[in-house]
Amino acid sequence: MPRPKILLTRRWPAAVEAVLAERFDATFNTDDVPMSPAAIAEALRTHDAVLPTVSDKLPASVFDGEIRAKVLGNFGVGYNHIDIAAAKAKGIVVTNTPGVLTDCTADIAMLLLLSVARRGGEGERQIRAHEWKGWCPTHMIGTKVTGKTVGIIGFGRIGKAFAQRCHFGFGMNVVFYNRSMVEPAEAARYGARQLATVEEVLAASDFVSLHCPGGAENRQLMNASRFAAMKPGAYLINTARGDVVDEAALIAALENGVIRGAGLDVYEAEPQVPEKLLGMENVVLLPHLGSATEETRNAMGMKVVDNITAFFEGREPPDRVA
């Protein structure tokens, strides 16, 4: 029986690639050059499984015509880069990697919140530029975090892990918006309280942190009127997806002092970051590092291994999303 032919669109952790090479007839992207949608479309015609990552684009057009692939083992929890309806229409199973990146993504949100509140990026730039003149009572004054209110949009795994850090680690009040009702006792485990609308959360919060999925349902959830609804002087943190924020409206809100700062790990057109954001001292920018730890990236890869192994053994993949 020939081994299933699989293709990885990018370089993965070496230990994971080694397991895949043992179990499958694997094509690796040894140059690690991002694949175009046309190249991915070709791979879908020539392989039994394609293993994309969150930075690939799989619009409906890549699924046109005759397709050999039966499964997409996505390396990542978010899958808004895949046209799920089109994949489903071709009978393709799609899996993701939930759970294993919860802590690391919540940590990156905390890092952004602390960096923007305490001006960590600015301070580091000042020292590296040899511009620091020494301690004085009025130097680079930031915002105290303890005792402040953080508002979380999306109370899934990562939202909860972030709430726990904010409340139990940093003494913050935590409110959140979630589409479905969360039992008050469950919310209390994370030191958090549910409010009925996004607007109520925005009005109550000194920091707003986004933890909802990207894609059509949340596209530009943070728009000009939502920025205007934020507390004056508040900060936005985004570790969710770039498309959840209208970047032009964010830039305007920062320029006009509607909000005080932002901490961003994700962008609308990654890896492009708007020039205006690059020039703003009150914005902390990271290059989509939420899950970027050795432990988490290995665990994400091994989840994909488990998912596609289950699929080709005729079992239900543990993390099937379509």
Catalytic residue among 22, 255, 270, 281: 270
Q: Which is nearer to ligand DGY, 4 or 98 (CB)?
A: 98
Read off φ and ψ for residue 280, nearest 5 degrees: -100, 125
Q: Residue 140 to residues 13, 246, 281: CA-CA distances in angstroms? A: 40, 29, 11
Interacting stretch for ligand DGY, rule CB under 6 A, among 71-79, 128-136, 225-233, 273-281? Answer: 71-79
Q: Which is nearer to ligand DGY, 165 or 288 (CB)?
A: 288
Catalytic residue among 81, 119, 211, 288: 288
* Binder among 52, 263, 290, 301 for ligand DGY (CB under 6 A): 290
* Residue that the structure tokens 């899934």 belong to: 156
* Rounded (10°) CA dihedral 253, 162, 75, 218: -40
- Nearest distance, CB of residue 227 and ligand DGY, angstroms: 23
Catalytic residue flag (residue 270): yes
* Binder among 44, 50, 72, 101 for ligand DGY (CB under 6 A): 101
Q: Which is nearer to ligand DGY, 94 or 259 (CB)?
A: 94
98 scored as a contact of ligand DGY (CB under 6 A): no
Catalytic residue among 226, 241, 260, 297: 241
52 scored as a contact of ligand DGY (CB under 6 A): no
Q: How far apart are CA 41 and CA 37, in angstroms?
A: 6
Catalytic residue flag (residue 47): no
Bridge partner list, 53: 75
> How many residues interact with ligand DGY (rule CB under 6 A)?
7
242 scored as a contact of ligand DGY (CB under 6 A): no
Q: Which of 16, 8, 4, 11 is nearest to 299 (CA)?
A: 16
Catalytic residue flag (residue 275): no
Bridge partner list, 75: 53
Give 131: exposed, middle or buried? Use CB within 10 Å, 0-12, 13-18, 19+.
exposed
- Nearest distance, CB of residue 96 and ligand DGY, angstroms: 7
54 scored as a contact of ligand DGY (CB under 6 A): yes
72 scored as a contact of ligand DGY (CB under 6 A): no
DSSP 220-278: T-B-HHHHHTSPTT-EEEE-S-GGGB-HHHHHHHHHTTSSSEEEES--TBTTB--HHHH
Q: Which of 106, 104, 118 is nearest to 148 (CA)?
A: 118
109 scored as a contact of ligand DGY (CB under 6 A): no
Q: Using CB under 6 A as the criterion, which residues of the chain lie in contact with ligand DGY when the complex forms?
A: 54, 76-78, 101, 290-291
Known catalytic residues are 241, 270, 288
